[in-house]
Structures are given as structure tokens and as C-alpha cells.
Amino acid sequence: MTTIGKLLCLGIILATLSGCQENAIPTELDEGRWNPNTRPFVESVQETEDGSAVVQRGDEVIFLGGGQPQRIKKVKSFNLLTQEWSTLPPMRISRYDAAALNFDNYIVVAGGSGNSWEEIVPTKRTLERFDVATGTWSLLPPMLDPRFNGSNFQFFAACRDRIYTVSTSFSSGRTTIYESSDINNPIEGFSWKTIETTLPSASFPSLVTVGESIYIISGESVIPDYSGDQKFFVEFDTRSRELREHALPPSQLPGLYTSIFSFQDVIYRLVDPIESVESHFEIFDTKSGVWETLDETLSLWGGGLHNIILDSSEGHFYLFSPPSLPLGFHFNCTSRRAFIQ
């Protein structure tokens, strides 16, 4: 199972977003809530747990669960303005590598792994909802389909107040998309719909939301030479429920060991090939349907296994390491400037 967070230290060019001719990384970052002149956030991140889920609400960056080797239920929040930590009510279930999904009134934590082999299957199929107004956690009805495996944060996405995920089992030879009911519904009314596709099976898919579409990049089989596991990159329209195929990323690498997120109409993807320390940073413009990548391969350590925080109000994203590694990488999507801390 993947471990969220590794050291990220790279040089990066994103000229495709701006037509910028500069290849060098700026040595300083734009002013904003992510202060480049001091290291309070970077240093504070070292207090978090390896494998924690991360979500941002306004000026609060919230870390949920994690823990190695003991999984925990603890929830902590870091305020970007005051640079102070606070404690929130703990989750109902201990989780590692879970997904944290942000909604207007709720935070939903989905899947992950538990503390023992006996807890792995039950935990990966469970979800819980945090009511921001009341500060309380409630368990949502679990995913019962045996083809589903929610053991990794990459398997989930949120769109139109619904949760989306996919099957990760080889049993049917096809990928199934699961759509939840509206997250604002009462718990007793929460349910799942199954959308069958003709896509081949995907063992470690990555999902990301852009507008009202979910983009799905196929994963890679953990079984060598498994013929049913084929590469694909598709867009799922959550209103029409139609699938549209897109070209694979330039690296032709699947979704295993991937960090992926979107800002405005662009998808950013950091991926590690298996059995290699060379990673790739790729971007996909959903308007033009064109992939771009760096001119040269990046030399990273576990590059696709980072916690990601995206501050959409300022167009920043931050990839950071677990407590044992002090560095992080910060990129401003709006100004197209990067900073290694």
C-alpha cells in the first residue's frame, strides 16, 4: 500500500501554461498566505502524521488520521493566517491513506486502511461525514460492492455534491463507476448508483474533478503481465453520464503512485514509474485536450506519493513530505512560479 508523502526536490518548467520563456525556477515566491520568507508552515507540517488525509477550508488546512505503524482517528487543523494548530473532534474510524473530500457543509473521509488485516476490508469500504456546523462525525452507509476497493486516496473525487469512485477489481474485467446520492441528504437517504462501462479493469486509478466532469486515469496491475489491465484516460460527464476518451499522458505511465489535482481547467499530474526513481510532471489542458510535460525527466524520490494541498483562492498548491523529511515544493498556478522549501 502506498505511503502518502516523500521528499520532493525538483526543477520544474510549466511554460505551457503561460508561454513563459524562462526555464529557471524563481528563488522567491509571491507573497500570500504561504509565507516564503519563514518556514512556519513547513516546520508545522512535521507535526502531522504520515498517511494523513488533507483538505483545506478557507485558511484552515485540516489533517485527518494517518499514523505509522498505528493508524489513528486524530484530526488537527493548521491556520495559515495565525500559524497555529487546533484540534477537531476525532473520526469514528482510524484510517491511513484515506481520501478527504470537501463540500460546502461537510468534509467526507472515505476509505483508507485500518490497523490490522481484519480491518482492511471493512475500513476501505466505509465513509464518514463531518458536519462543519455542529462539529460532529456520522458514519455513512458503506460501499458493499465486492469489486470496490477504497484503500487509497486517489480512488475518489467530489463533484456536484456527490462522491465518485470506481471499481478496482479484476473480477469483472471492466471498470464500474459509482456515484453517491447528494451528500446533503439525510444519512438514511444516502445511497450509491452503479454505472457500468466498457472500460477495462483499473487496479490503481486516479480520479480528478474539473468542472462537472470526473477524469479517470487507469492504474497499473499489481499482477505482472495481467492482460486485462489496460491503460486509458477518460472524461466522465456527471450530468449526461457519457464517457469521452482522451489521449494518454506523454509518459504513457498509468495511475499507480500518482499525485493528481486540478486548478481551473488544467490537470496537474506527478507520477512515478514502477522500479524507477525518475518521476514525471505532466499537465493536461481540458479545453484544448492537449498534454504537455517537462523537457527532461525529473529525479525525485517517491514523487507521486505526496500529500497535496491546493489553495484555490490564491492558486497555490503545496506538496510536502512526511514528518521525517523537512522539505516541500510550492507552486503558484496563477503566477507560474515555483519555490522549494
Place of cell 520544474: 12
Q: Does residue 336 surpass a pLDDT of 70?
A: no
**pLDDT at res. 25:** 34
**Tens of pLDDT, residues 112-135:** 887 765 566 678 889 999 999 999
Average pLDDT over residues 259-283: 75
Q: Residue 57: pLDDT above 50? A: yes
pLDDT tier for residue 276 given thresholds of 50, 70 and 90: low
Mean pLDDT value across residues 42-61: 77
The position carrying cell 465513509 is 127
Give every strand in the sheet of 233-237, ordered side by side.
206-210, 213-217, 233-237, 243-245
Mean pLDDT taken over the chain: 75
Are 293 and 281 spatial neighbours (Cβ–Cβ below 8 Å)? yes
Least confident of 22-26, 114-118, 146-150, 236-240: 22-26
Is the pLDDT higher at 331 or at 126?
Answer: 126
pLDDT of residue 339: 62
pLDDT at 306: 56
Is 148 in contact with 125 (CB distance < 8 Å)? yes
Kindly tell me if the per-residue pLDDT of 22 is higher than 60: no
Tell me how far CA of residue 144 lies from CA of 122, 170, 231, 265, 271, in angstroms.
10, 16, 26, 34, 30
pLDDT of residue 182: 97
**Cell numbers that stand for 133 in this block:** 456546523
156-165, 166-175, 251-260: range with highest mean pLDDT: 156-165
- The band of 72, judged by pLDDT with boundaries at 50, 70 and 90, is confident
pLDDT for res 14: 28
pLDDT band at 232 (very low <50, low <70, confident <90, very high): confident
pLDDT at site 184: 94
Q: pLDDT at position 128, please?
A: 96
Three cell numbers at 174?
A: 471492466
Give the three-state DSSP class for 15: helix
Tell me the residue type at 123.
Answer: T
Angle value at C-alpha 261, between 260 and 262, nearest 5 degrees: 140
Helix (H, G, I), strand (E, B), or coil: what is residue 45? helix
Structure-derived torsion over alpha carbons of residues 17, 20, 23, 26, reported in degrees to the nearest 10: -90
The mean pLDDT value for 268-274 works out to: 70
Q: Is the pLDDT of residue 43 over 90?
A: no
* 40 CA to centre of own chain: 24
Contact 92, 137 (CB under 8 A): yes
Asked if residue 203 has pLDDT above 80, the reply is no
pTM over the 0.85 mark: no
Instruction: Choose among 26, 12, 67, 45: nearest CA to 328.
Output: 45
Mean pLDDT confidence for 164-175: 76
User: What are the structural domains of the chain?
Assistant: 15-340 (2.120.10.80)
**Better-scored residue on pLDDT, 301 or 75:** 75
Model confidence pLDDT, tens digit, residues 184-202:
999 999 999 999 998 887 7
Q: Which residue has the cell 471492466?
A: 174
Residue 86, all three cell numbers: 487546533
More confident residue, 248 or 272: 248
